[in-house]
Chains A and B, each alone.
Chain A
Amino acid sequence: MIARIWVYLSASPLLWLTATLAAYEAGAWIFGRLGRRPLLNPVLIAVGMLIAVLAATGTPYETYFDGAQFVHFLLGPATVALAVPLFDNRAHVRAALLPMLAALCAGSLTAIACAVGVAWLLGVRGETLASMAPKSVTAPIAMAISEQIGGLPSLTAAFVIATGICGAVIATPLLNLLRLRDYRARGFAAGLAAHGLGTARAFEVHEMAGTFAGIALALNGLATSLLVPALARLMR
């Protein structure tokens, strides 16, 4: 009986959609309960729990995604929605064009050089190394760049997500350590280094930070798609 119910449930989108929302709620609850420590990022907790459940029940990712795709789909309209805070804060944005451009050049180069350089020093080579180069930018751009320079797009997507979670976890403590109080600088850095996940984290902290994170996400997508192929040609 239970086996039959499981056969029905595990193949229906309902179960994994519910599980995705429930895992996130649980993550948010733990995050709030244990004093909002950055390491207890709700996304990190939810992803960890869901991976454990999928592994324990032997459920393939494709089955999971049949349900979770409804949540995933909203990423597109949510990206479009970033236009609204950008519009609200357009005066602040116009006033900060020069700092943004300077931070974009420095940050974009640091992201590429540091990821590839450290991985290379630690013995990573070939396709895996190429897949690392565009990992700071939003997944669709990163995957296209990866393909162009001989990486594996799906592996790049995994690095992109890992980078996003890492950035969302370390941004607040790291920026506090640097004693930076300017929310524009803090948000811009989070969005540049950790794309949408950094932007989501920035919006949780401050609307101004979120706005600048959204701009950095878009600008670094453009900068990296120009820089990485050019650098790859130089290396060859």
Chain B
Amino acid sequence: MITALTMLLSCQLAGELIARLFGLPVPGPVLGMLLLFALLLARPRSEALVRDTTATLLRYLSLLFVPAGVGLIRHFGRIRAELAAITVAIVISTAATIAVSALVFAAVARALEKRTR
């Protein structure tokens, strides 16, 4: 587990450093994900070192958003007057985005399958 955490944190740290050095608009952890992916491609055997720890982290991924979610409490005051409008906009746009992306993905995938057949 310590080996895995060291690898994950090293990738994240390297990602943060690269993002800052080159002024990239990408967050450090996302670059860290790409670095770990590159590492796994280069040395597929290193996957065994991280597999168990990453599986555990991803199983409880939703827990990790709870502290940020509680942060909503700080904004109720500022947006009280617009709360209803904002809630409606968030629900409608989220639903529309899920529907559009899933339908487009499925339609293109189906068209491709038909062509290759």
Contacts and interface: CB of A to CB of B under 8 A. Distances in A.
A87 B73 CA distance: 38
A218 B112 contact: no
7 contacts: A83-B11, A102-B105, A118-B89, A123-B82, A155-B75, A180-B102, A182-B106
Interface in A55-70: 55, 61, 64-65, 68-69
Contact of A115 (B9, B59, B82, B89): B89
A9 interface: no
Contacts of B82: 123-124, 128
A175 B99 CA distance: 7
A190 B98 contact: yes
Contacts of B105: 96, 99-100, 102-103, 182, 184-185, 188-189
Contacts of A157: 68, 71
Given A68-B66, A99-B108, A102-B108, 14 more contacts: A20-B66, A20-B70, A43-B62, A71-B64, A78-B58, A103-B102, A118-B92, A138-B30, A154-B74, A163-B90, A185-B102, A185-B109, A189-B101, A194-B94
A103 B93 contact: no
A185 B73 CA distance: 34
A103 B98 contact: no
Contact of B90 (A51, A162, A168): A162
A66 to B, nearest CB: 10
B21 interface: no
Nearest to B38: A83
A-B pairs, top 10 by smallest CB distance, nearest first, are A107-B101, A68-B67, A122-B85, A189-B102, A79-B29, A47-B69, A81-B54, A83-B36, A200-B61, A114-B93
Contact of B72 (A47, A82, A174, A178): A47
A136 interface: yes
A75 B64 contact: yes
Contacts of A200: 61-62, 64-65
B17 interface: no
Interface of A: 20-21, 23-24, 41-43, 46-47, 50-51, 54-55, 61, 64-65, 68-69, 71-72, 74-88, 90, 96, 98-100, 102-104, 106-107, 110-111, 114-115, 118-119, 122-124, 128, 132, 135-136, 138-141, 144-145, 154-155, 157-159, 161-168, 170-171, 174-175, 178, 180, 182, 184-186, 188-190, 192-194, 196-197, 199-201, 203-204, 210, 214, 216, 218, 221-222, 225
Given A51-B70, A65-B67, A76-B28, A98 B112 contact: yes
